[in-house]
Amino acid sequence: MDASPLLLDFCLLSRMALARLALAGVLTCIRSLILRIQRHLKTLGHLQIFLLVRRGSKRQHRINVYLSSVVFTDR
């Protein structure tokens, strides 16, 4: 009985899970930082934050919409 394919699958899944946790942690930190900034800048009324990634990327659009929908609720 060879356990190496099972071990490789487990390692791959572990790496993917760790990458997702790391990304979630980074986005959580970014959101909490933006919320803290927004609390200090309430007089502006409107604040736009953009993550700069490659132009024309679908990922950029998704991240911008996600952050703006979480943070900027009083447009």
Please report the pLDDT score of residue 4 as a whole number: 57
The full set of domain ranges for the chain reads: 4-71
Please report the pLDDT score of residue 51 as a whole number: 46
Two tokens, residue 27: 């986005």
Q: Report pTM.
A: 0.36
Between 17 and 1, name the one with better pLDDT: 17
For 10-60, write each residue's pLDDT tens digit.
667 777 777 777 788 778 888 888 777 767 665 444 444 444 444 555 554
Between 18 and 74, name the one with better pLDDT: 18
Q: Quote the CA–CA distance of 51 and 23 in Å, as a whole number.
A: 14
Whether pLDDT at 1 is above 60: no
C-alpha pair distances (Å), 51 with each of 12, 18, 73: 29, 22, 18
Chain centroid to CA 65: how far?
11
- Cβ atoms of 64 and 58 closer than 8 Å: no
